Structure 1
Amino acid sequence: MAETQSVKAAWPLYLTAAVIAAVVAGAISSLFSGGSLAALGIPDPGPATTFGLPALRATAWILAALAVGSFLFTAFLLPPRQVGEDLNGARLTVDGVIAARTGGWALLSVALIALTMIPLVLSDVSGTPLPQVIFSPSAWSTALSQVADAKVWLGVAAIAAITGCAALAASAWWAQVALLIGAIATILPLGLTGHSAAGGAHDIGTNSYLWHLVSMLVWVGGLMALLAHGRRLGPHMGSAVRRYSAVALFSYLAMVVSGVINASIRVRPEDLFAYNYGLVLVVKTVGLIALGVIGYVYRRRIIDRLDDNPLAFRRLATAEIALMAVITGLAATLGRTPPPPPRVTDLTEMQLKMGYNLTAPLSATNWLTQWRPELLYSVIALLLAGYYLHLVRRVEGWSASRTAWWLAGCATVVVTLCSGIGMHMPASYSAHMVAHMSLSMVAPVFLVLGAPLTLIKAAYPAGEFNPRLWAESFERSRFLRVLTWPPISLAQFAFFFYVLYVSIPLYELMISEHAGHVIMNGVFLVSGYFYFWELIGPDHIASRATAKVRLAWLWVSMPIHLFMGVYLMQLGVVMGEEFYSSLKLPWQPDLLADQKAGGGIAWASGSFPLVIVFGQLFYLWWREDREETRALDQRADDTDDEEWRRYNEMLEQYSGHGGGRA
Structure 2
Amino acid sequence: MRPIWPLYLLFLVVAGAIGGTIAYSFLGESLAALGIPDPGIATTFGLPFFRAVGWMLAALSAGSFLFAAFLISPRLPGGDNARLTGASLTVDGHLASRTGAVAALCFGLVALLMIPLVLSDVSGTPLVQTLGPEALAVALEQVAMAQVWLIVALIALVTGATGLMSRSWITQPLLLLGSILMIIPLGLTGHSSSGGDHDFGTNSYLWHLIFLVLWVGGLMALLAHGRRLGPDLDIALRRYSAIALFSIIVMAVSGLVNASIRIEFSDWFTTRYGLIIVAKTVGVIILGIFGWLHRAWVVPKVQADPTDRRLFHQVAIVEVLVMAAVTGIAITMGRTPPPPPREPNLSQMATQLGYELYDKPTILNVWGMWRFDLLFGTLALLLAAGYLHGVYRARRTGKSWATGRTIWWLLGCTALLVTMSSGIGLNMAATFSAHMVGHIILSLVVPVLLVLGAPLTLLMTAYDSGPPDRPGIYDWVRAFTRSRLVGIITHPVVNTVQFLVFFYVMYLLIPLYELMISEHAGHLIMNTVLLVSGCFYFWGMLGPDPIPYRRPAPVRLGWLAASLPVHLIFGIYLLQLDTILGEEFYRSLLLPWELDLLADQHTAVLFWAAGMVPLAVVAFLLIRQWPGAGGDARGSEEKTTTDTGERSLVHHDSPGTGTP
Superposition TM-score, scaled by structure 1 size = 0.92
CA distance in 2, matches of 1:629, 1:254: 43
SS at match of 1:196: helix
Give the one of 275, 278, 283 matched to 1:279.
275
Structure 1 stretches of 4+ moved >3 Å: 622-630
* Alpha-carbon offset, residue 611 of structure 1: 3.5
Instruction: Find the counterpart in structure 2 of residue 638 from structure 1.
Output: none
Instruction: Find the counterpart in structure 2 of residue 615 from structure 1.
Output: 620
* Alpha-carbon offset, residue 624 of structure 1: 7.6
Instruction: Find the counterpart in structure 2 of residue 170 from structure 1.
Output: 166
* Alpha-carbon offset, residue 233 of structure 1: 0.5
What are the equivalent positions in structure 2 for 1:421-460 lying under 5 Å apart?
421-460=424-463
Residue 593 of structure 2 corresponds to residue 597 of structure 1: no
Equivalent position amino acid for 1:112 in 2: L
SS at match of 1:338: coil
Instruction: Find the counterpart in structure 1 of residue 88 from structure 2.
Output: 91
Equivalent position amino acid for 2:319 in 1: E
- Is the Cα contact below 8 Å between 2:81 and 2:465 reproduced in 1? no
SS at match of 1:128: coil
Instruction: Find the counterpart in structure 1 of residue 373 from structure 2.
Output: 374
- Is the Cα contact below 8 Å between 1:197 and 1:205 reproduced in 2? yes
- Is the Cα contact below 8 Å between 2:625 and 2:631 reproduced in 1? no
- Is the Cα contact below 8 Å between 2:465 and 2:473 reproduced in 1? no
- Is the Cα contact below 8 Å between 1:453 and 1:471 reproduced in 2? yes
CA distance in 1, matches of 2:39, 2:632: 77
Q: Deviations over 1:246-283 (max 9, x none)?
A: 11111101100000000000010111122111001001
Q: Deviations over 1:39-93 (max 9, x none)?
A: 1111111111111000000000000000000000011111111152132121000
Equivalent position amino acid for 1:38 in 2: A
Q: Deviations over 1:385-427 (max 9, x none)?
A: 1010001011122111000000000111111100000000000
- Is the Cα contact below 8 Å between 2:192 and 2:201 reproduced in 1? yes
* Alpha-carbon offset, residue 614 of structure 1: 2.0
Equivalent position amino acid for 2:574 in 1: L
Q: Deviations over 1:325-370 (max 9, x none)?
A: 0000001110111011111111111111110111112111211111
CA distance in 2, matches of 1:555, 1:39: 60
What are the equivalent positions in structure 2 for 1:620-635 lying under 5 Å apart?
620-622=625-627, 627=632
CA distance in 2, matches of 1:88, 1:295: 33
- Is the Cα contact below 8 Å between 1:536 and 1:613 reproduced in 2? yes
Over 3 Å counting, the alpha-carbon distance change for 1:48 and 1:449 in structure 2 is same
Equivalent position amino acid for 2:507 in 1: Y
CA distance in 2, matches of 1:521, 1:421: 13
- Is the Cα contact below 8 Å between 2:452 and 2:543 reproduced in 1? yes
RMSD: 1.4
- Is the Cα contact below 8 Å between 1:86 and 1:469 reproduced in 2? no
* Alpha-carbon offset, residue 602 of structure 1: 1.1
CA distance in 2, matches of 1:269, 1:542: 54
- Is the Cα contact below 8 Å between 2:627 and 2:633 reproduced in 1? no
Give the one of 551, 554, 557 matched to 1:548.
554
Which one has a bigger Cα radius of gyration?
1
CA distance in 1, matches of 2:40, 2:214: 34
Q: Deviations over 1:465-498 (max 9, x none)?
A: 1111111111111111111111111111111112
How many pairs does the alignment contain? 622
* Alpha-carbon offset, residue 12 of structure 1: 1.1
Equivalent position amino acid for 1:574 in 2: I
CA distance in 2, matches of 1:234, 1:394: 32
* Alpha-carbon offset, residue 604 of structure 1: 2.5
Give the one of 289, 292, 298 matched to 2:294.
298
CA distance in 2, matches of 1:447, 1:628: 21
Q: Deviations over 1:506-553 (max 9, x none)?
A: 110111111111111111111111111112111112221101111111
- Is the Cα contact below 8 Å between 1:441 and 1:606 reproduced in 2? no
CA distance in 1, matches of 2:465, 2:267: 55
What are the equivalent positions in structure 2 for 1:20-35 lying under 5 Å apart?
20-35=14-29
Instruction: Find the counterpart in structure 1 of residue 340 from structure 2.
Output: 341
CA distance in 2, matches of 1:258, 1:118: 28
Give the one of 108, 113, 123 matched to 1:111.
108
CA distance in 1, matches of 2:97, 2:340: 44
* Alpha-carbon offset, residue 105 of structure 1: 0.8
Equivalent position amino acid for 1:600 in 2: L
Residue 496 of structure 2 corresponds to residue 490 of structure 1: yes
* Alpha-carbon offset, residue 629 of structure 1: 11
Task: Give the percent of matched residue pairs that are identical in Structure 1 and Structure 2.
Answer: 54
Give the one of 174, 197, 215 matched to 1:219.
215
CA distance in 1, matches of 2:21, 2:40: 13
* Alpha-carbon offset, residue 627 of structure 1: 3.9
CA distance in 2, matches of 1:19, 1:139: 29
- Is the Cα contact below 8 Å between 2:241 and 2:294 reproduced in 1? no
* Runs of 5+ unmatched residues, structure 2: 636-660
Superposition TM-score, scaled by structure 2 size = 0.93
* Alpha-carbon offset, residue 18 of structure 1: 0.3
CA distance in 2, matches of 1:303, 1:34: 47
* Runs of 5+ unmatched residues, structure 1: 1-6, 631-662
- Is the Cα contact below 8 Å between 2:69 and 2:172 reproduced in 1? yes
Instruction: Find the counterpart in structure 2 of residue 130 from structure 1.
Output: 127
Residue 572 of structure 2 corresponds to residue 575 of structure 1: no
- Is the Cα contact below 8 Å between 1:284 and 1:331 reproduced in 2? yes
CA distance in 1, matches of 2:226, 2:454: 38
Instruction: Find the counterpart in structure 1 of residue 472 from structure 2.
Output: 466
- Is the Cα contact below 8 Å between 1:566 and 1:600 reproduced in 2? no
CA distance in 2, matches of 1:37, 1:462: 58
Over 3 Å counting, the alpha-carbon distance change for 1:137 and 1:79 in structure 2 is closer
Instruction: Find the counterpart in structure 2 of residue 635 from structure 1.
Output: none
CA distance in 1, matches of 2:90, 2:572: 55
